[in-house]
């Protein structure tokens, strides 16, 4: 395996004063391998979203950060948007309600790819086609409220990858959507990552969803990383009690795999 894209070493994130500190992440060591799909699994409050924000450098100013995130896979410190794309949970809130889809998808390309607005608009058109928005030409001039939740998430994904980042972090991108749309979004992310050779960090509380297509799995519980490894190993021979518990809770439902043939890639 080549050098990892990112090396997280002893990372802790905490809030509050010294006498009453609360940890959102505590002493995390994790590598993100280039070109692979890492599923970060945990309940809400487990620190998985804090990890996403820490990777993208978006933690609020009052957060206390210890440890380090190294980027051996990059020649320079990562720039949000250009090197790291992010997709969030609520596709309704991610898009600015008063700006056109075209502007919001294109603005990242203008910023990072040095395109002028004309070129960025045709770039945006191609992106909307790639995320399979019907009638992308019309969508350029439309506003977020004119689309369904699933379509909005597709548009947000298009905006997130507009500057061709090497790493895409998707933070619960499907949990606000219904089952059928969930599967479509996961399939879309899988396609996009394969086509562009991107690294994907997929954050979810749903181990069944993650097991469908992840190469590696990292399990978080109460601000700590409790288990990590190749998906196959973690799913078949979990070592930590919490992972076993998560699997036991899920496997009873015999969830069909959403994407076939991905887990052993």
Partner 1 sequence: MHRALTLTRRRIVSSIPVLLIVIIGTFLLLEAAPGDAVDAYLLSLGGGDAGLVAELRQSYGLDQSLVKRLILYVGALLRFDLGWSVAFDRPVLDLIAERLPNTLWLMGAATALAFSLGSLLGIVAGARPGSLTDRALSIGSLALYAVPSFWLGLVLVLVFAVALRWFPTAGIETIASGKTGLARVADIAWHLVLPVSALGFIYLALFLRMMRTGMAEAWRQDFVLFARARGLARRRIVLRHVARNALLPLVTMLGLQAAAMLGGSVVVESVFAIPGFGRLAHEAVSGRDAPLLTGIIIVSAVLVIVVNLLVDIAYAALDPRVGSGEASS
Task: Give the start-end residues of each E strand in 106-235.
Answer: 167-171, 199-204, 216-221, 224-230
Work out whether 173 is an interface residue with partner 1 (CB under 8 A). Answer: no
Work out whether 90 is an interface residue with partner 1 (CB under 8 A). Answer: yes
Among 122, 137, 146, 148, the residue binding partner 1 under the rule CB under 8 A is: 146
Is residue 80 a contact partner of residue 23, using CB atoms and an 8 Å limit? no
Work out whether 96 is an interface residue with partner 1 (CB under 8 A). Answer: yes
Return the range that interacts with partner 1 (CB under 8 A); candidates 10-18, 37-45, 157-165, 181-189. Answer: 157-165
How far is Cα 218 from Cα 2, in angstroms, rounded to an integer? Answer: 19
Please list, in sequence order, all residues whose beta carbon lies within 8 angstroms of the beta carbon of residue 245, skipping any fewer than 6 positions away.
Answer: none
- What residues does 12 pair with on adjacent strands? 66
What are the two backbone dihedrals, phi and then psi, of residue 203, each rounded to the nearest 5 degrees? -100, 130
- Could you tell me the smallest distance in angstroms from the CB atom of residue 189 to partner 1? 16
Exposure string over 34-56, b if 16+ CB within 10 A, otherwise e: bbbbbbbbbeeebbbbbbbbbbb
Structure tokens belonging to residue 104: 């919001």
Work out whether 177 is an interface residue with partner 1 (CB under 8 A). Answer: no
* Side-by-side strand order, sheet with 22-32: 22-32, 6-15, 64-70
Work out whether 196 is an interface residue with partner 1 (CB under 8 A). Answer: no
Work out whether 115 is an interface residue with partner 1 (CB under 8 A). Answer: no
Work out whether 80 is an interface residue with partner 1 (CB under 8 A). Answer: yes
Give the number of residues in contact with partner 1, rule: CB under 8 A: 31
Work out whether 160 is an interface residue with partner 1 (CB under 8 A). Answer: yes
99/138 with CB nearer partner 1: 99
- Could you tell me the smallest distance in angstroms from the CB atom of residue 201 to partner 1? 13
Contact letters (x/-) for partner 1, 35-64, by CB under 8 A? ---------------------x-x------
Map residue 218 onto helix, strand or coil.
strand
Residues that bind partner 1 (CB under 8 A): 56, 58, 79-82, 84-86, 88, 90, 93-99, 103, 107-108, 111-112, 143, 145-146, 156, 159-160, 162-163
């Amino acid at each position: 395996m080549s050098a990892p894209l990112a090396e997280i070493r002893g990372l802790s994130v905490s809030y509050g004063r010294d006498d009453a500190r609360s940890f959102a992440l505590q002493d995390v060591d994790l590598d993100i391998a280039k070109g692979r799909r890492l599923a970060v699994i945990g309940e809400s409050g487990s620190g998985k979203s804090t990890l996403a924000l820490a990777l993208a450098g978006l933690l609020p100013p009052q957060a206390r950060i210890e440890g380090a995130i190294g980027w051996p896979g990059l020649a320079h410190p990562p720039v949000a948007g250009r090197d790291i794309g992010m997709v969030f949970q609520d596709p309704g809130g991610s898009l600015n309600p008063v700006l056109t889809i075209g502007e919001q998808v294109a603005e990242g390309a203008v910023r990072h790819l040095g395109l002028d607005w004309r070129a960025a608009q045709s770039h945006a058109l191609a992106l909307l086609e790639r995320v399979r928005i019907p009638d992308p030409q019309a969508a350029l001039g439309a506003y977020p409220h004119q689309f369904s939740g699933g379509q909005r998430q597709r548009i947000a994904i298009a905006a997130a990858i507009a500057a061709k980042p090497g790493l895409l972090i998707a933070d619960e991108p499907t949990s606000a959507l219904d089952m059928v749309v969930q599967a479509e979004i996961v399939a879309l992310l899988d396609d996009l990552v394969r086509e562009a050779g991107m690294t994907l960090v997929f954050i979810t509380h749903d181990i069944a969803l993650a097991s469908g297509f992840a190469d590696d799995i990292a399990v978080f519980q109460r601000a700590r990383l409790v288990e990590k490894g190749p998906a196959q190993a973690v799913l078949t021979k979990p070592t930590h009690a919490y992972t076993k518990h998560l699997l036991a809770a899920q496997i009873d439902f015999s969830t069909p795999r959403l994407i076939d043939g991905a887990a052993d890639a």
